[in-house]
Amino acid sequence: MIQTGPDKYPMSDFKEIIASKAEIKQIVSRIAGQISSSYAGKKLLVCGILKGAFIFMSDLVRQITIPAELTFMKASSYGGGASSSGDVKVAEFSELAAYGGFDILGIDDILDTGRTLCRLKEHLSAKGFASVEFCALLDKAERRESEISVKYVGKKIKNEFVVGYGLDYAEKYRDLPFIAALDDKIYGN
C-alpha cells in the first residue's frame, strides 16, 4: 500500500512508487560520492535548477564531502501541465561572472526530452567556467529528443509522469517525500 503520511494526498492519486525514501537516500549517497571524487581539489559551483531540483540538491550537497558553493537558475518549459512547450526560458539568481575558474555542476530533477539541459548548456558554456557538467536524479531516456551528455544520473525510469521529492504536476506534490507515478485519472485532467 502506498503511504503518503497522514491524509496528505489520497493514495489513489498514485499508481506506483518509482523511488522510495530509502532508494532515494542510496542514490543521493552514490552520486555524492562520485561528485566528491571527481571534483576533489577543484572549485565546485553546484547550480540547482528551480524549482524541481531543490529537494534533491539540498540532500546532495550535504552528502558531498568537498566544499562547494551554491547557486540557482530557473528554467521554465512545462507551464502548468505535463507536456513540454519546447520553449525554455532561463533566469539566473546570482551573477555567474563572479565564479570565474569554477567548475559548474547543474542539478536537475528529471531529464526528459533533454531540451532544458541543452538550453542551459548553451547558456553556461558562454560564461567561461572551467567545466560545465550536469546531474539529473531521474532519466526518461526513451523521451530524448536533444543530444545532451549528463555525467551523473540517479535512476533511469520508463516513460511515465512522476511527482514528489521536488517534482510537480501543476505545482502539486513537490512535498511528497518519495517519487511516484501519477495515476492516469489525474494526469488526464
What are the percentages of helix, strand and coil residues in the chain, rounded to 5? 30, 30, 40
- Is 26:59 a contact under the CB 8 Å cutoff? no
Catalytic site residue from 13, 108, 109, 112: 112
Judged by CB under 6 A, how many residues of this single chain contact ligand IMP?
A: 17
Between 15 and 42, name the residue whose CB sits nearer to ligand IMP: 15
Q: Are strands 152-156 and 131-139 parallel, antiparallel or unpaired?
A: parallel
Element (H or E) spanning 187, and its range?
helix 184-187
* 112 given a catalytic annotation: yes
Helical segments of 2-155, H only: 21-38, 54-63, 115-125
Q: Using the Cα atoms of residue 120, residue 125, residue 130 and residue 133 in order, give the sign of their dihedral.
A: positive
- Closest approach, Cβ 43 to ligand IMP, in A, equals 26
Residue 54 is a binding residue for ligand IMP (CB under 6 A): no
Residue 14 is a binding residue for ligand IMP (CB under 6 A): no
- Among ligand IMP, Mg ion, none, residue 71 binds (CB under 5-8 Å by kind): none
In Å, what is the CA distance from 49 to each residue of 11, 53, 57, 66, 91? Answer: 28, 6, 9, 21, 10
Between 35 and 179, name the residue whose CB sits nearer to Mg ion: 179
Between 64 and 162, name the residue whose CB sits nearer to Mg ion: 162
- Closest approach, Cβ 30 to Mg ion, in A, equals 24
Residues 65 to 124 in contact with ligand IMP, rule: CB under 6 A: 77-78, 84, 108-116
Strand residues in 20-175 grouped as ranges (E): 44-50, 68-76, 89-92, 103-111, 131-139, 152-156, 162-163
- Among ligand IMP, Mg ion, none, residue 180 binds (CB under 5-8 Å by kind): none
- Closest approach, Cβ 144 to ligand IMP, in A, equals 8
Rounded Cα gap, residues 99 and 153, in angstroms: 25
- Closest approach, Cβ 137 to Mg ion, in A, equals 13
List the catalytic residues. 112
Instruction: Kindly list the residues in this chain that would bind Mg ion in the complex (CB under 5 A).
Output: 52, 78
Instruction: Kindly list the residues in this chain that would bind ligand IMP in the complex (CB under 6 A).
Output: 52, 77-78, 84, 108-116, 161-163, 167
